[in-house]
Each structure stands twice: as structure tokens, then as C-alpha cells.
Chains A and B, each alone.
Chain A
Amino acid sequence: MKNFLTLAAFFAVLSIQTATAQCDEIADQCEMNLAKEYISDGQFYRALLYNDQVAEFELSLFGGNTYRIAACSGMDSGNLVFRLYDQEHNLLFTSSDFSNAPYWDFVVENTMQCTIEAQLDLNKQQSGCAVLLIGFKK
């Protein structure tokens, strides 16, 4: 049993290492989800996820704006689930309802303080670098 656990830890380390190396590539790929009409917020969000870990991102969405959130992990789209909550933790959106869509647009009526939770779809990927990009329309 001990040997099995040791091996499990070994491979966990190895998979994290591989995921780390892929971070840059994923970022480049994810940028393609921010279409031309979206202006980047100038920031690059990422977190290294293993198994069922959840990365949490805080952001303000300003009223009167349309935002695009792009979320990626791995070189195939749909490996990452992202959920958007408001400041009272009401679930506003989850990409899992839409085949883990790699991007989604949000039309914001009034300013909201939101939280994004990002988590790997364990059916597709066990570890990896989660990249989030946010853009807004002029």
C-alpha cells in the first residue's frame, strides 16, 4: 500500500511538472478566444490545478459593459469548468451547462462584484494550468 501511495505521489509530481510546462502554450491558445472586438483587461490569470482543486478569481464587472471570459486548460477546449457567482454567492453561470464552453459573454446591467471558480473537468484532465482571460467590448 505504501509503495502504491509513493508511486501515486511521484506521478502527481510528474503531472504537475508537465502541466507547468504547458502553461505558456495554453495561454497562447486561450488568447484566440478573445475575439478582435474585445479589449483585454491587460491581465493574465492562471493557477496550477491538481485533481479537484478550485481556483478562485475576484473581479468587478462594471455596469453598461459586455465582457468575455475565456477559460482554458490543456490544448483541447472544454477541459475547464468555470462558474460565475455574485457577491451573495448566487450562481450566475456555469460552463458545465454548456459543454464546458471555453468562453462566454456577459452583458452587465449594473456593477457587480463577482467571483469566478475554475476547476478541471476530471473526466478529461487530472492536472493542468488553468488560464483565465477577461476582455470587454468598447
Chain B
Amino acid sequence: MKRIIYILAPAMLSVPLLTGCADDAAQNAQDESAVTVDEAQNAVTSSLVKIDSEIFSLPSPIQTAILMHKKEISYREELLNPLANEKKYINQYQKSLNMGVYGADLAYLSNFNNSQKKLDYFKVVESLATDLDIRNNIDQSLIDRFAKNIDVQDSLYKLNADLFKAGDKYLKQNDEDEVATLILAGGWVEALYLAIDAADQDDSFKTRIGEQGFAVNSLVNLLKKHDSPQTIELAGKMAELSKQFEGLVINYAYVKPITDAADKVTYLNSKSNVQISEEQLAEIARQVTEIRKSITQ
């Protein structure tokens, strides 16, 4: 029977696990189940086994765009990645990163009145999504709503987020995690690039930039999961950038949260602040600009 398990388990698992929710955890489960019965028993009896401790969330570029809107940051077209650059992106690596970049630019554009520009940037995102085989797997009604809501700011934020979430979901379901990570990376770099420029207009962006240290570490960890040469190179640049954030002083003081069960809400009242000098900001800006240049040009 033990032998049957050796033969059956991989065969049973190979198709559904590869086509379904085949993440690292599933792979671990597959490996473990096919090894020995004793190990399977250990898995059953173990306590609080932490699986894949490298699931990281990156801040959405739309959050940066919303902060810009609140702070009334003025429009600067020269910050955007020009539409004409799209034709330079010929491989999956470039297309993935720049789909994220253009998505962040579209979030930025959502704050301003320029319907044609917004449509043009949406079309570029859609074009790259088509090239990456994402577009055909996204609900058409979501795409249709973009044109109808191009001038409705709140709707545009939400549609942009839903488009990228649908893409992320499709890619992860189909073991295209590297593409998903590169799209996130491109969006995060572009949003940080825009925030650095906004820091000249409003000091609150300096704090927001300083708070990205955790995100850049997450990004390094996400990129390091993949082994294509270009992604490894990008992970190296991000790791260099993360060193700049290590020098920032971050103070944190825990305060007991307050929960309102009736409204299903918890108020997180802990205090924190980040101290970032002009020199540190300038060095972060320099490195981000370099990384962004390597992505977009």
C-alpha cells in the first residue's frame, strides 16, 4: 500500500495542483505527502506549522494617488511614462513591469481632468495586459466600465484596482507568479517616483516615502523567489534601495486597540513616526529614479 501511495500521490496531484491553486504551500503538501507515511503522520500531529511565510502585501499605487488628491498635488505630465515608450517593451519582463508603471500613472491621472489622456493610458494598460495573456481572462464588463467612467474619479480608482486584482488572481491561478510580482514592482516603483516628486509640494509625502521601508523589503523577498536573470538583477537594485531605508529612524509605541463589535471595526491606536533627513530623501530619490529609468527606458 505504501508503494501505491508513492505512485498514486504524484499522479493524482499533478494535474489539479498544476492547473489550480498551485502555490508553494500546495507544492509543499504534494512533496510531503509523497515522501513517507511517517512524515504524513508528523504533519497531522504538528502544532502551528507555519507555511510559506513569504506572502507579502505591497501598498497600492492608488493609495498614493488618493493621498495626492487629498493634498491637492498639482499635475505634472512630464512625470508620466510616455505612451510612446510602449513599443520599446518587447519581452515579458519589460511588459509586466511597465503594465504596473502605466497602471500607477493611470491612478495618478484619475485625479485630474483629461479624459483623453486617461483613455490613452488605459488603452496602454489594456494592450500590455493582452500581450501578457491577461486581458482575455478578465471580465469584459470590467473593461467596458472604464470608458463609461473615465471621468468619475472614485469609479476610476476602483476599476483600476479591480483590473489589477483580476490580473493578479488570474496570474497566480496559472502559476505566473513572476509576472504578477513584476507588475506589482512596476506599480510600486512608479508610485514611489510620483510620491518623491510630490514631497516638494507637501511634507506629508516625506513621511509616506519613509514608511516604504517595509514594502521594499517585501518586494525584495517577492523578487528573490524568481530566478530569471533580469528579475535577479532587479532584486539586487531593490536590495540596495532597502539599505537606504535601514538608516531611517522609526519609532513605534503599542497602544491597546479598541474594538466596536457591533460595527465590526477595530481602531488601531498605536503611535509611530519616521524620521527622514533631506540627505536620506535625496539618496532614496536618486536610486528610485535610476531604477525607474531602467524599467521604462
A interface residue numbers (CB < 8 A to B) = 2-3, 5-10, 12-14, 16-17, 19-21, 23-24, 27, 36, 39-63, 65-66, 84, 86-88, 90, 92-93, 98, 101, 103-113, 119, 129, 133-134, 136, 138
Chain A CB within 8 A of B148 CB: no
Q: Are A57 and B55 in contact (CB under 8 A)?
A: yes
Closest A residue to B28 by beta carbon equals: A48
Q: A40-B165, A47-B23 are in contact. Are A54 and B48 (CB under 8 A)?
A: yes
Chain A CB within 8 A of B57 CB: yes
Distance of B99 from chain A, by nearest CB (Å) = 12
Closest A residue to B218 by beta carbon equals: A58
Chain A residues near B75 (CB-CB < 8 A): none
Distance in angstroms between the alpha carbons of A50 and B40 in the assembled complex? 11
Q: Are A8 and B59 in contact (CB under 8 A)?
A: no
Interface string of B168-195 (1 = CB under 8 A from A): 1100110000000000100100000000
Q: Which of A8, A40, A51, A84 counts the most B-chain CB atoms under 10 A from its CB?
A: A40
30 contacts between A and B (CB under 8 A): A12-B44, A14-B12, A16-B13, A16-B30, A16-B33, A17-B17, A20-B20, A20-B21, A40-B165, A42-B165, A43-B58, A43-B165, A44-B169, A46-B21, A55-B25, A55-B52, A55-B55, A56-B50, A56-B55, A57-B57, A58-B218, A60-B211, A62-B63, A62-B208, A63-B272, A107-B268, A108-B268, A109-B267, A110-B272, A129-B21
Segment of B1-9, B85-93, B233-241, B286-294 in the binding face: B1-9
Interface string of B252-274 (1 = CB under 8 A from A): 10100101010111111111111
Chain A residues near B53 (CB-CB < 8 A): 56
Distance of A27 from chain B, by nearest CB (Å) = 6
Q: Are A93 and B254 in contact (CB under 8 A)?
A: no
Interface string of B218-244 (1 = CB under 8 A from A): 100000000000000000000000000
Distance in angstroms between the alpha carbons of A110 and B252 in the assembled complex? 9
Q: Are B9 and A105 in contact (CB under 8 A)?
A: no
Distance in angstroms between the alpha carbons of A100 and B57 in the assembled complex? 22
Q: Are A53 and B50 in contact (CB under 8 A)?
A: yes
Q: Which of B165, B184, B214, B218 counts the most A-chain CB atoms under 10 A from its CB?
A: B165
